[in-house]
Structure 1
Amino acid sequence: MTLSEGTGLAVPGAATEPPGGAAQKRSWAGESGESVARNLVLVGVLVALIVIGAITQPQLYSDSTWVWNNMVSILQLASVVGVVTVGMTFVIIGGGIDLSVGAIVALAGVWCTTLATQSYGTVGMIFTAIVVAVSVGLINGVLISYGRLVPFIATLAMLVSARGLAAAISGKQTQISANTFINSLASDRVLGVPLLVYILAVVAVAGWVLLNRTTFGRRTVAVGGNPEAARLAGIDVKLHTMLLYGLSGLCCGIAAIMLTSQATSAQAAMGNLYELDAIAAAIIGGTLLSGGRGTIVGSILGVLIFATITNLFAINGLSTEAQNMVKGGIIVAAVLVQQFRFKSVTQFFARNRATTTS
C-alpha cells in the first residue's frame, strides 16, 4: 500500500516507496517554485502595462484621484469575469473545458429577473440564479462523466441550448431588475472599493483554499493529471468531474447576480464570450489545457491583465478590433511559452535525477 500522488489515498498492491520518489518530490517543489516565478512575471506585466499607460497618457496619470478611480474601474471590470474564471480554472485543472459559462450566466440572469422570481425578493432571486446555474453545470458534468461525451461537444451544445432557453424565457427582451439590494451591489462602495470587487476577492480566496488546502483540490489535480491513476487511488473520477462542472455553474450563478447588478437588467445576450475570456485568463495564469496543473492566483492575475489591456486601449482611444488582435496574440504566445517551458522544466528535473543517481 502506498499513498497516491497528491490524493492522500492508498493504492492497493503498490510499492511502499516508488523508484525516484525523492526526486519526484523535488520535482514537485520545482513546479511550486515555477508557479511563484510565473506569478511574479504576471505582476511584472501588470506593472509594465501601467507604465505604458503613464507614458502614453501622462496628463491623466498625473492626477492621483483619476489614477485611483481608474484602478477601481479595472478591478470592477475584472470582477464578473474573475468569478467565472475561478470556476473555469477548476474545470481545466481537472482535465475538462467549459464553453457554456457565458450562456449559463445569461440563463441564470434572465431566470432570476423574471417578474415571478422578483416577487420573492432578494433571497428568491439569488437562490434562483444559483440553483439554475449549478443545475446546468451538473447537467454538463453528467453528460461528460456518465454520458461519455467529449467536454468540448457537451458544453458547446449547452452553450446553444442555454442561450436559446434564455431567449425563450425573456421573449428576446431586456428584463429590468427592480431589486434595490442587487442593483446596489455595483454602485455601493466600502472604503472606496465597489462591493463587486469584494465578492471577487471572497470567491478567489475560497477557490484558493479549496484547491490548495482540501482533499477536493488534491483530487482535482490528480484527476486532471492522470485519471486512471486517480481511479486506482480510489477516487470516483466520474463523480468528481461532475462536481467540478457543478462548481463552475456555482461561479456562473454568482457572476449572473453581479452582472445583473451592473446593468440593473438581464438579457439572453449577457455574458457573451465570457467563456473565451475565462479560458484565456486561466491559460495566461499558467493553467495547463491538458489538466493537472494551475493556480487560482495566476488565473486572477490573468483576468487583471486582460482588464488592464482593455482599459489601456480605452484611455488611448484605440479600436476594439485592435484590442482583440492583441489579446489573441497574447493567448497564442502564452500557450507556446507554456508548452515549451513545461517541457524544458520536465527535462531539467529528469537530468537532475539522472545526475543525482549517478
Structure 2
Amino acid sequence: MSEQQTSPNPAVDSPKTTAGRRRGFSALSGGTARNLGLVAALLLLCLVGFLTGGERFASLSNLMIVLSLASVIGVMAVGMTFVITTGGIDLSVGSVLGLTTVWATTLATQNLADQYGWIVMVTCALLVGLAAGLVNGVIIAYGNVVAFIATLAMLVAARGLAELIANRRTQLVQSSSFEGTFEGNLLGVPKIVWIFVFVVVAGWFLLTRTTFGRRTVAVGGNPEAARLAGIKVKRHLMYVYGLSGLTVGIAGVMMLARTGAGSSTNGLLYELDVIAAVVVGGTLLAGGRGTIVGTVIGVLIFATLSNVFIINNLDSSVQQIAKGAIIVGAVLLQQRISAPRST
C-alpha cells in the first residue's frame, strides 16, 4: 500500500501531462478573468447610470427596456460568435434582418398567416435568414471568396432587395395571431427577452457541449489541421454561416414583435453593434476561441451604455465615440492576451 502511494505514476506525473494541466488551468483562468472583467465593467456602467439617472435608471420598467433593446442584437450576436470563432466575419446581418422583416410582412405572407396562423410569418423570416446565410457560406467556402467581400456584397444586395419588395414603404403587422403570440409580456418579462434567453442557452450548449462546437473552434484555430483531422472544413463553414442567418431570422421575428412593422431600414448598421459585442465579449477575431457568455455580457454592456446616454439626454455622437473606445480597448486586450509569451 505504501509503495503504491509513493511510487511515481508516469501518466500523472510526466512533464507533458503537468504542462497540459497548467495550460488548461491557465486557459480556464483567462476565460474566467475576462468574464469577471466584463461583469465589473457592466456593474460600473450600472453604477454610473444610477448616480446620474437615479430612479429612472434603476426602475424595473427601464430594466425591461434595456433587455428588450439587447435581445435583438443579442440573438444575432450568438450566431456571429460562431462565425468569428471560425476566423470569419458576417457584415450582412443588419441588411438581412431588414429583408426578413419585409418579406414576412408582405401582403401575400400575411394573408397566408390569416389562414394558417402566425407560423407562416415566422417560417418565412427563418427561411429568408437561413437562405441568405447559406448563400454567404457557399460563396465563402466553395467559391473561395474572402468573407469580408462576400458578406459585404450580401449587405448591399439584401438591403436593395428589401427596398424593392417594400417599395421603400413601412409594412405594418396586421396578423392578430402573430401579435397575440409574440407581443406583450410573459410573467412580467417581454416575450422577446424569453426568446433571447432560449437562443443564448441553445448557442452555449451548441458551442461548448457538442461536436459542432468543437469543430467550429478547430476550424478557426487551424483549418488545415482540422482538415487533416477529418473535418469537412468547407461544409462546416457553410453550416456556420447558415446558423448565423438563422439567428438573424429569429431576430427578424423579434423585431416585428417589438416594432410591429417590417421596413427595409430595419437593422441599419446593426452589424457594427453585433460584431462589437462579440469582440468585446472575448471571441478572438483571428478565430479559434469563442464565448457565448462573454458575448451576452458584451451585448448588455452596449445596451446599458446606450440607455445611460439616452436617460441623461447626452449627444449620440459622444456615445459612438465611447463605443469606439471600448472596441479598440477590447481588441488591444485581445492582442495582449493572445500574444506568445517567452518561457
TM-score, normalising length: structure 2: 0.92
Q: 2:105 aligns with which of 109, 113, 122?
A: 113
In the alignment, structure 1 residue 290 sits paired with structure 2 residue 282 = no
State the alpha-carbon separation in 1 of the partners of residues 310 and 159 from structure 2: 29
Q: Which residue of 2 aligns with 1:91?
A: 83
In the alignment, structure 1 residue 213 sits paired with structure 2 residue 215 = no
Tell me, yes or no, if the aligned pair for 1:225 and 1:291 is still in contact at 8 Å: yes
- Kindly state the Cα deviation for residue 277 of structure 1 after the two structures are TM-superposed: 0.6
- 1:174-218 deviation line (CA, Å, top 9, x unaligned): 111112343346642122111111000000000000000000000
CA RMSD of aligned residues (A): 1.6
Q: Which residue of 1 aligns with 2:12?
A: none
- 1:275-319 deviation line (CA, Å, top 9, x unaligned): 111100001100000000020000010000000000000111101
1:68-79 pair list within 5 angstroms:
68-79=60-71
Q: Which residue of 1 aligns with 2:140?
A: 144
In the alignment, structure 1 residue 223 sits paired with structure 2 residue 219 = yes
- Kindly state the Cα deviation for residue 60 of structure 1 after the two structures are TM-superposed: 3.5
Unaligned runs of 5+ in 1: 1-18, 352-358
Specify the SS of the correspondent of 1:256: helix
- 1:12-68 deviation line (CA, Å, top 9, x unaligned): xxxxxxx9465245323311221111111111111111111121133546xxxx621
Q: How has the CA–CA distance of structure 1 residues 185 and 281 changed in structure 2, closer, same or farther, with 3 Å as cutoff?
A: farther
Q: Which residue of 2 aligns with 1:41?
A: 37
State the alpha-carbon separation in 2 of the partners of residues 95 and 340 from structure 1: 18
Give identity over the alignment, percent: 52
1:301-340 pair list within 5 angstroms:
301-340=297-336
Specify the SS of the correspondent of 2:241: helix
Q: Which residue of 2 aligns with 1:247?
A: 243
- 1:217-266 deviation line (CA, Å, top 9, x unaligned): 00000000000000000000000000000000000000001101111111
- 1:306-348 deviation line (CA, Å, top 9, x unaligned): 00000000111101111111101110111011111222xx42x
Specify the SS of the correspondent of 1:54: helix
Specify the SS of the correspondent of 1:235: coil
Q: Which residue of 2 aligns with 1:188?
A: 184
Tell me, yes or no, if the aligned pair for 1:42 and 1:301 is still in contact at 8 Å: yes
TM-score, normalising length: structure 1: 0.88
State the alpha-carbon separation in 2 of the partners of residues 79 and 131 from structure 1: 20
Tell me, yes or no, if the aligned pair for 1:182 and 1:257 is still in contact at 8 Å: no
Tell me, yes or no, if the aligned pair for 2:56 and 2:311 is still in contact at 8 Å: no
- 1:91-126 deviation line (CA, Å, top 9, x unaligned): 000111000001111111111110101112111111
Range 279-288 or range 120-129, more displaced = 120-129
Q: Which residue of 2 aligns with 1:28?
A: 24
Q: Which residue of 2 aligns with 1:13?
A: none
Q: Which residue of 1 aligns with 2:11?
A: none
State the alpha-carbon separation in 1 of the partners of residues 270 and 90 from structure 2: 11
How many residues align? The count is 326
In the alignment, structure 1 residue 58 sits paired with structure 2 residue 54 = yes
